[in-house]
Structure 1
Amino acid sequence: MSESAVPRSSTAGDFGGPQAAIDELGSAELVQLLTPEGERVEHPDFSFDLGDDAIKGFYRDMVLTRRIDTEATALQRHGELGIWAQLLGQEAAQVGSGRALRPQDFVFPTYREHGVAWCRDIDPLRLLGLFRGVDQGGWDPNEGNFGLYTIVIGAQTLHATGYAMGLQRDGVVGTGDADRDAAVVAYFGDGASSQGDVNESFIFAASYNAPVVFFCQNNQWAISEPIERQSRIPLYQRALGFGFPGVRVDGNDVLASYAVTQAALQRARDGQGPTLVEAYTYRMGAHTTTDDPTRYRLSADVESWKLKDPIQRVKVYLTRNGLVDQDFFDEIEDEAEKLGEHLRAGCKALPEPRILDTFDYVYAEQTAELAAERDGFAAYLDSFDTTAGAH
């Protein structure tokens, strides 16, 4: 999975270590730090700077994220959700990148970043509300610095770029204060990379040197369209045409996903501009619960990628090196069971939306005009006789 070497980016900064590697467009090879067999390997430019306790935490994150996905899929099958976007196989890309974030960084997801939401301490019931149809789309930006799921393909990349430009103007980029300097991550898939919004966001981010990391989870299928029909070159190399660097990372390797995202985020916080990270992974499940992937892809491909399962490779590493015992795995399974119970009971107990609440989420401070519209709509609703037909 190596690619031919690419020329140096014209936006290279004077950095050493992983940031210099990013400015060199990372490496011509896939960045990998943990093999599918669970063996730690070295990379000349990127390294994992945390200990084994962090890897244990990553394992827990991925197992619980997969349980969220499994429970939500089951809830949809039982008619409790209208639809669900699965992430099976993409846990490492999301957990690795999610754990690389600092509290002040902001996330603009698509509709599949359940693992990132977990890393930002978002109650997964908040995610289920959207797919159950009882959440009207409002989101508290102070809740985990995690934006609302975006259904319009690729639109969130423009939102992320604009927010990143705002960070520049707020003076929280390049100050050298680790507790203040901030960056933005925009998540999207390989299919979204063909959208105009994504390419426009690349142009704005490059032009304004915005502190944004474009994190593309290349799971190789835009619903039923393979990546080979979307791009003649690896997606990370597209960044060169816009004037900023790109890196391809093994998206099933949680350690490499963390290390590469950490370096890209720090580069952004330091004022060195955008980076495109392509997490090369595979969607082992369906695009959504309305999709039948057996109609357009070979089962042999799925089976081969199961051997690269992101959770299993970490489990093998922990077991082979005697870092945990069976009690460790049993405790996480017990926690997963409790999480499943929380989701099943909580989903059915989600309150129905109140239609007038939509007026509360338009502006931070409600205008007189909007208040008048709200009162008028309330009067219109009151004009209906809700008791008719009760008997």
Structure 2
Amino acid sequence: MSYTEATIQLLNPEGSLVTSDASAEYLPYIDALSDEQLREFHRQMVVVRRFDEEAANLQKQGQMGLWVPSIGQEGAQVGSGFAARAQDHIFPAYREHAVARIRGVDVLDIVKLLRGTTHGGWNPAEHGNFHLYTLVIAAHTLHATGYAMGIALDGKSGTGNLDADEAVIVYFGDGATSQGDASESLVFAASFQTPQVFLLQNNHWAISVPVSTQSRTPLYLRPSGFGIPGVQIDGNDVLASYAVTRKNLDDARAGAGPRYIEALTYRIGAHTSSDDPTKYRKDSELDYWRQRDPIPRFEAFLRSRGEGDAFFEEVRVEAEDHAADIRRRTFEIQDPGTSLIFDHVYSEPHPLVVEQKAWLAAYESALDENGAQA
């Protein structure tokens, strides 16, 4: 599946701006970006991709039980990540590494999560309202919709103040659209007119099942059956991702109800480190999407604006330094004590949990150095 006549594209694969009737309403959002903001788009895409590569290597070396790559999807993530305002709440699935970094999450916390040394990973309130990764497919679409309902019921949207009104953006993949939770979330979002954007990263494969098997119609049309407008964008175009998401989030926060964006992108790597995509994908398909890689495309755009070699070399070095730092700190991660599993079950001390924690501590103290009963 490639782009369609409905696909909104602001930057073509060669890196040139697209001027058309479909792009006209979004170009002012791009014109408002500063040179520094445009450079930051590129910086984040490059640094996160290099982190992704390093994390995959660390998993192969036994430092994580699982790795979930996002290579190829940086344009969809970086553009939409910067489109969200500071007060917005973001509900990721489990491969939104670029959005996590943009919102202030130390990506080492993602490594810790997939290493199994943390229960959750981070406190959303301390990291740009970026909520926890959810590996249960589509479950978080309900969490996001419930939170958006709360925003609306609390009167924190639709006041006319875009700098204060809140909205929610939830990320999910094409495979998640086949889950009942995703459909249920659309029902409640439409019924309660939530200030919310559903951002579907259609990377064309739900593990080994192609999107053509999952849906006989383009996925951006599906929400119309629930009364929610949908739009399809070139997800490998970071400018389209930014402008369309910015507009739709602002419309939602202004009280216009939920919105749905299908970002056409591609999962260059495996679904996870336990997957072998060569068993079910054709090389020709992979080559087609590699030619539409969001990073070289945006680099060509920046160079056409006069950006020189010095900047791109600076970003390359930063990405290498960041990857080396992640590698060093990964090897320094300490396994937590078993008491951690009790510490955040409830917000206040609970007698049953206190009792269980004390029992386990007593049990462990009775074991010898080999783990046997002393």
- TM-score above 0.5, yes or no: yes
- Structure 1 alignment gaps of length 5 or more: 4-27
Structure 2 equivalent of residue 36 of structure 1: 13
Structure 2 equivalent of residue 140 of structure 1: 123
1:73–1:86 Cα contact (<8 Å) kept: yes
| Aligned pair partner of 1:239 in 209, 223, 247 | 223
Structure 1 equivalent of residue 26 of structure 2: 46
Per-residue deviation, 1:45 = 2.9
Structure 1 equivalent of residue 53 of structure 2: 70
2:13–2:292 Cα contact (<8 Å) kept: yes
Deviations 1:51-75 (A, max 9, x none): 3332211010100010111110111
| Aligned pair partner of 1:59 in 42, 62, 68 | 42
Query: 1:372, 1:250 → 2: CA distance?
Result: 54
Change (3 A) 1:88 1:181: same
SS of match in other structure, 1:134: coil
Deviations 1:255-276 (A, max 9, x none): 0000111111111211221111
Please tell me the residue identity of whatever aligns with 2:78: V
Per-residue deviation, 1:177 = 2.6
1:382 aligns with 2:365: yes
2:195–2:253 Cα contact (<8 Å) kept: yes
Structure 2 equivalent of residue 349 of structure 1: 332
| Cα RMSD after superposing both structures | 1.9
Deviations 1:297-323 (A, max 9, x none): 11011111111110001111111332x
Structure 1 equivalent of residue 245 of structure 2: 261
Per-residue deviation, 1:108 = 1.0
Per-residue deviation, 1:344 = 0.3
Query: 1:387, 1:126 → 2: CA distance?
Result: 31
TM-score w.r.t. length of structure 2: 0.93
Structure 2 equivalent of residue 7 of structure 1: none
Query: 1:306, 1:234 → 2: CA distance?
Result: 22
2:162–2:254 Cα contact (<8 Å) kept: no
Query: 2:234, 2:271 → 1: CA distance?
Result: 20
1:38–1:315 Cα contact (<8 Å) kept: yes
Query: 1:318, 1:134 → 2: CA distance?
Result: 40
Structure 2 equivalent of residue 307 of structure 1: 291
Per-residue deviation, 1:338 = 1.0
1:131 aligns with 2:114: yes
Change (3 A) 1:2 1:125: closer
Please tell me the residue identity of whatever aligns with 2:25: D
Alignment of 1:1-391 (within 5 A): 29-42=6-19, 43-47=23-27, 48=30, 49-137=32-120, 139-142=122-125, 143-322=127-306, 324-386=307-369
Query: 1:385, 1:280 → 2: CA distance?
Result: 56
Change (3 A) 1:221 1:387: closer
Q: How many residues align?
A: 366
Per-residue deviation, 1:77 = 1.4
2:228–2:259 Cα contact (<8 Å) kept: yes
Deviations 1:190-210 (A, max 9, x none): 011100111111111111111
2:3–2:234 Cα contact (<8 Å) kept: no
Query: 2:188, 2:173 → 1: CA distance?
Result: 19
Deviations 1:63-105 (A, max 9, x none): 0010111110111111111111111110000000000111111
Query: 1:131, 1:150 → 2: CA distance?
Result: 12
TM-score w.r.t. length of structure 1: 0.89
Deviations 1:136-179 (A, max 9, x none): 22531212211111111111101111111111222211122333
Change (3 A) 1:355 1:246: same
Query: 1:104, 1:348 → 2: CA distance?
Result: 35
SS of match in other structure, 2:171: strand
2:170–2:197 Cα contact (<8 Å) kept: yes
Higher normalized helix content (fraction of residues): 2
Deviates more, 1:38-47 or 1:189-198: 38-47
Please tell me the residue identity of whatever aligns with 1:134: T
